[in-house]
């Protein structure tokens, strides 16, 4: 064996073709990868996709009554689903159901039943409370439990929540309680007074939630 | 005409190479064929369905129940077209045949793989085909899932939402991956066109290519021979040729199989879109995936909740339950040929009882999947009073470890019993012969 590798003074035809083909394949591959970018469309935060925010009124989400403002008398210890309704760029009312994660769960319990960790300042008279109705586990809409009355159950992987105690997780895989939405009564309407108190589904950390809040604020002004 | 064709297409060479391929005469070898016939029926019925299906989730007026001019009844176009397909002559039947065949295809593939595993047919030189088969199984499941998303009823909508969120649960890249896969934030305008593209173009293309590879490798390597072939003609290929003996058998099997599927479809409805209704925020009580994905669903139902924030990414119970655990299970199946230490080529299907460890592990693995599938029924078990909210997870987790272990040892005991009976038989025979002499 020699220690020296024979150096060809000239580039061979074979080598040239190999390099040319390799380069073509690499460029082609990378350009194909760029089409993957096109697979992911640009997201525009339009009024109907914004999360519920201060000034929104709550309207029924149930199909037969969709869009009708919710009255306090409509509520009780059974879950009522609601959409936030805000204003679009022209000031026309728009139901924010472009993002299905905006669906809300409303409850009204006799006084004294709602307890911490529910934020009672964010409820109406310590009786009426609003939560995000999207399970923090896999994003399904949560309903009233058919097993234990007074609890909430997600049909997808049987996550359970307690709506009287800030919707804390009392069973199943969800990682976090449902986010509470601060509301107040204004005339007959239920009005949102701010953003969700904690980050709701589909956000996985505080930062994402803060940045979407900032984006919404920026568009409001 | 034969000569005319032969001069152009060299039919006689094709005949020698492929059409004379010997098929082993044993009913367990029909399982792969049933899977193949299912794929063909699926493609045919799928084409017919695609002719009437509208792949769009834009809202259109429901022509069956238009509502009023100022408050029209709007439903997604895909759901509307599913209703229209149901209203066609035999339209509902067509959908049911497609759906039933899909279920049967997965079932046949699973049983086919069980046959291959338990008889050792995955061994050298057939490892590659085991892996191709695994890919076929995985892509079949993907095709099935994208398929039941297409009617875009409330069931499909909820399913898609969960799949989207499972994809999004990947640490770091999840959000991007799920948006790229499902055309933007759920439910984007391009959602159904995207899933439709997967279901009718991408995935069937992959399935057909993999099937072709699977068959070509099988023809090249020949089937494993059943045990009887060893007795009647050692080291020779025994079986009936494709042309003309196996073909009528296949045809008969196809017709019988198609008949059974049609019978099923006529009497047992699957996925009644009218019942589920259009996508809505009202959840479906106790919604469940199809049986072949129920084990993943079960894992998700009993996994404790946790969330680990790690270097800016989130590792949560959903990621572990729906992606890590199934990946481990699938990797274990992929690894099966590599765990086998035999260096010789395998010609004859092995008797499972001669390989008790392999048999036991296979049974234990299936038992594990069954336990997890049962865990998918956790809410029903609690409603029925069999388990309680407090003990359900604990009981199901104990079963997760205990049942497979028990199955493994039960198999060992049974195999030992069979062997001792066999040895007693052999002794008796020897004594008998000795007495004869």
Task: Phi first, then psi: give them for residue B188, nearest 5 degrees.
Answer: -65, 165
Residue B246 lies in a domain: yes
pTM: 0.90
CB-CB contact of A108 with A72 (8 Å):
yes
Does residue B72 belong to any structural domain of this protein? yes
Question: How many other CB atoms sit within 10 Å of the CB of residue B201?
Answer: 10
Quick: pLDDT tens for B298-341: 999 898 888 888 887 888 888 999 999 999 999 999 999 998 87
B389–A171 C-beta distance less than 8 A: yes
Side-chain half-sphere exposure of B433, counting CA atoms within 13 A: 5
> Are the CB atoms for A95 and A71 separated by under 8 Å?
no
Q: Is residue B22 part of a domain?
A: yes
The answer to whether A141 contacts B281, with C-beta atoms less than 8 Å apart, is: yes
CB-closest option in B162, B285, B383 to A138: B162
Q: Which domain holds residue B70?
A: 17-280
Inform me whether the C-beta atom of residue B317 falls under 8 Å from chain A C-beta atoms. Answer: yes
Position of tokens 């969800």?
A: A174
Chain A residues whose beta carbon lies within 8 Å of the beta carbon of residue B190? 41
Q: What is the DSSP string of A85-100?
A: EEE-TTS-EEE--SSG
pLDDT in tens, B131-172: 999 999 999 999 999 998 999 999 999 999 999 999 998 998
What is the C-alpha to C-alpha distance for residues B253 and B32, in angstroms, rounded to an integer?
12
| pLDDT surpassing 70 at residue B436 | no
Coil, strand, or helix at residue B307?
Answer: strand
Residue B432: inside a domain:
no
DSSP string, A140-175: PBPEE-SSSTT-EE-TTT--EEEGGGTTEEEESS-S
Does residue B244 sit within a domain?
yes
Strands, E, within B89-190: which ranges? Answer: none
Q: Where are the alpha helices (DSSP H) in B309-386?
A: 317-319, 325-334, 336-339, 356-375, 378-383
Q: Does B241 or B434 have the greater pLDDT score?
A: B241
**Is the separation of the CB atoms in B358 and B411 below 8 Å?**
no
Task: Establish if B164 belongs to a structural domain.
Answer: yes
Number of structural domains (chain B) is 1
Helix (H) or strand (E) holding B416: helix B392-436
Which domains occur in chain A, in start order? 1-44 (no CATH), 57-220 (2.102.10.10)
The confidence band for B370, taking pLDDT boundaries of 50, 70 and 90, is very high
| B384: in domain | no
**Residue carrying structure tokens 């199946």:** B333
Instruction: Establish, for the pair of chains A and B, how many residue pairs have beta carbons separated by less than 8 Å.
Output: 111
Express each pLDDT in B194-235 by its tens digit.
999 999 999 999 999 999 999 999 998 888 888 888 888 888
Q: Given B183, B281, B314, which is nearest A81 (Cβ)? A: B281
Distance from CA of B403 to the nearest CA of A (A): 22
**Would residue B257 count as lying in a domain?**
yes
pLDDT in tens, B7-62: 888 888 877 777 888 888 888 888 999 999 999 999 999 999 999 999 999 999 99
**DSSP letter string, B47-86:** HHHHHH-----SEEE-TTS-B-SSSB-EEEHHHHHHHHHH
- The string of pLDDT tens digits covering residues B116-133 is 999 999 998 899 999 999
The residue among A137, A177, A215 with the most chain B CBs within 10 A of its CB, best to mutate, is: A137
**The domain that contains B128 carries what CATH number?**
1.20.810.10
Contact B166/A at CB under 8 A: yes
């Amino acid at each position: 064996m020699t220690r020296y590798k024979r150096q060809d003074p000239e580039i061979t035809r074979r080598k040239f073709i190999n390099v040319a083909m390799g380069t073509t394949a690499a460029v082609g591959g990378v350009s194909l990868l760029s089409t993957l970018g096109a697979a992911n469309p640009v997201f525009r935060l339009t009024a109907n996709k914004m999360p519920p925010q201060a000034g929104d009124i709550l309207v029924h989400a149930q199909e037969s009554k969709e869009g009708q403002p919710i009255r306090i008398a409509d509520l009780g210890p059974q879950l009522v689903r609601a959409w936030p309704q805000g204003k679009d760029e022209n000031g026309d009312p728009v139901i924010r159901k472009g993002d299905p994660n905006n669906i809300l769960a409303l409850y009204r319990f006799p006084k004294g039943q709602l307890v911490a960790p529910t934020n009672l300042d964010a409820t109406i008279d310590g009786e009426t409370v609003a939560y995000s109705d999207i399970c923090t586990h896999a994003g399904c809409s949560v309903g009233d439990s058919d097993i234990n009355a007074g609890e909430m159950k997600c049909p997808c992987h049987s996550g359970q929540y307690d709506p009287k105690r800030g919707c804390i997780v009392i069973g199943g895989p969800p990682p976090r309680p449902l986010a509470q939405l601060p509301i107040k009564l204004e005339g007959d309407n239920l009005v949102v007074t701010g953003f969700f108190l904690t980050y709701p589904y589909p956000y996985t950390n505080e930062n994402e939630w803060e940045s979407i809040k900032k984006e919404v604020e920026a568009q409001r002004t | 005409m034969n000569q005319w064709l032969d001069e152009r297409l060299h039919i006689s060479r094709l005949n020698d190479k492929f059409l004379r391929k010997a098929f082993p005469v044993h009913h367990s070898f029909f399982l792969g064929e049933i899977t193949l016939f299912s794929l063909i029926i699926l493609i045919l019925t799928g084409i017919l369905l695609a002719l009437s299906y509208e792949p769009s989730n834009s809202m259109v007026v429901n022509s069956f129940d238009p509502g009023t001019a100022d408050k029209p009844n709007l439903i997604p176009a895909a759901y509307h077209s599913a209703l229209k397909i149901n209203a066609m002559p035999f339209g509902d039947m067509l959908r049911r045949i497609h759906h039933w065949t899909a279920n049967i295809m997965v079932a046949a593939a699973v049983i086919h793989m069980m046959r291959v595993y338990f008889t050792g047919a995955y061994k050298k030189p057939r490892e590659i085909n085991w892996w191709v088969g695994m890919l076929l199984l995985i892509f079949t499941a993907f095709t099935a899932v994208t398929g039941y998303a297409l009617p875009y009823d409330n069931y499909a909508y909820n399913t898609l939402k969960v799949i989207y969120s499972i994809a999004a649960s990947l640490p770091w890249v999840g959000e991007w991956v799920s948006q790229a896969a499902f055309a933007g934030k759920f439910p984007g305008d391009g959602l159904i066109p995207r899933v439709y593209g997967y279901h009718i173009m991408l995935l069937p293309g992959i399935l057909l290519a993999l099937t072709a590879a699977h068959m070509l490798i099988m023809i090249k390597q020949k089937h494993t021979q059943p045990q009887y072939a060893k007795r009647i003609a050692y080291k020779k290929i025994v079986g009936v040729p494709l042309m003309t003996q196996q073909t009528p058998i296949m045809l008969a099997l196809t017709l019988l199989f198609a008949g059974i599927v049609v019978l099923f479809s006529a009497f047992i409805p699957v996925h009644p879109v009218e019942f589920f209704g259009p996508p809505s925020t009202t959840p479906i009580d106790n919604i469940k995936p199809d049986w072949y994905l129920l084990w993943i669903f079960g894992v998700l139902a009993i996994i404790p909740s946790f969330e680990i924030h790690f270097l800016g990414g989130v590792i949560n119970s959903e990621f572990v339950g729906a992606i890590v655990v199934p990946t481990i299970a699938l990797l274990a199946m992929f690894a099966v040929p590599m765990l086998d230490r035999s260096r010789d080529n395998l010609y004859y299907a092995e008797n499972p009882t001669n390989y008790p460890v392999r048999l036991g592990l296979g049974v234990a693995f299936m038992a594990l999947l069954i336990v997890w599938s049962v865990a998918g029924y956790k809410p029903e078990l609690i409603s029925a009073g069999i388990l309680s909210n407090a003990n359900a997870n604990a009981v199901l987790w104990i079963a997760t470890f205990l049942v497979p272990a028990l199955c493994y040892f039960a198999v060992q005991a049974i195999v030992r019993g069979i062997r001792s009976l066999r040895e007693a038989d052999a002794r008796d025979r020897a004594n008998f012969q000795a007495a004869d002499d």
